[in-house]
Amino acid sequence: MNILKVNKPSDYSSYLGVTDRHSLVSVIEYDRISPVPTTLNDYSVYGIFLRGDDLVDLTYGCGVYDYREGTLLAVAPGQLGGTEDNGEKVNLSGWALLFHPDLLHGTSLEKKIDRFSFFDYSMNEALHMTEEEREAIVGLLRSIEAEIDRPRDSHQDTIIVGYIELLLNFCQRFYDRQFMTRKLDNTDILTRFHEELKNYYSSELQLKHGIPTIQFMADRLNLSPSYLGDLIKRSTGTNASKYIQRMVIQEAKNLLSSGQNISQTAYSLGFDYPQHFTRFFKREESITPKEYLIRRKS
């Protein structure tokens, strides 16, 4: 498998035949350079890819939707994305912004970048935008490009980072809006998530894997853990880990109420030791399993 190591923005742009004018950030308009070779990339940089109107019927989460207004994909260092080069060139429309983490060093964005969880989403959880939203992103990309073209001075990087932070805030607004407009589909995912949790215990997977994890549930739903976490948080007000923990607590109460003792319940839920279960129960309920049984009988 041929994988392009994108250790810096120029690794990607030079592969496409573009000469960068800044060592830490690259802005590419695909329409100017197409057709281009495809590439499967191993990223050590951040990337925002705004695909053109010719991409339709894209997979989103568990469904397929027809968005002709444009699609935005975000990648972060440590991620793999793209399409392996098969020797053919393709006509792409849209833009790419790549920037190295070093560009953010010492800036407020360096401390905030992890808050933009959409960087952890997989390719089939892209942002679908209206034409107005797309124009806002393109306007910011053009501003970054124009700043790169200016003579270098002590203010340039600060201005570029400011534009990038504004762009990311716009993306966050669009992602939040997308969660709201996809409420029905999100409800379906939550229903399936709850069913997968129930199936996990009915299939006794906890005896092999222990307490279910976000990663396991996300894999079962064909979603990234970050996307699933955001969906649960926005829909229920509870983070995904807490949601799973509440499910485990309810299962624990059901088992204790059915007559199982504390040790049996602990092992049935996937805990290695009863004392681990007791600490978990106490942390979540503020009482021990033994105290819960006493209260229930009283």
Q: How far is CA 64 from CA 75, 125, 172, 219, in A?
A: 21, 11, 22, 18
Looking at residue 166, its pLDDT comes to 97
pTM for the complete prediction?
0.71
Which residue carries 């250790």 as its tokens?
7
pLDDT in tens, 8-17: 999 999 999 9
Residue 276 has pLDDT above 80, yes or no: yes
pLDDT in tens, 185-211: 667 788 888 888 888 888 888 888 888
When pLDDT is averaged across residues 232-236 and rounded to a whole number, the result is: 80
Looking at residue 204, its pLDDT comes to 87
Report which listed range, 50-64, 113-127, 230-244, 268-282, is most confident.
Answer: 268-282
Give the pLDDT band (50/70/90) at residue 183. Answer: low
When pLDDT is averaged across residues 148-152 and rounded to a whole number, the result is: 94
Closest C-alpha among 188, 194, 72, 75 to residue 138: 72
Which residues have CB under 8 Å from 129's CB, separation 6+?
67, 69, 70, 71, 72, 137, 174
Which residues have CB under 8 Å from 52's CB, separation 6+?
30, 31, 70, 92, 93, 94
Distance CA 158, CA 94 (A): 25
Give the pLDDT band (50/70/90) at residue 184. Answer: low
Which residues have CB under 8 Å from 251's CB, separation 6+?
201, 269
Of residues 11 and 131, more confidently modeled = 11
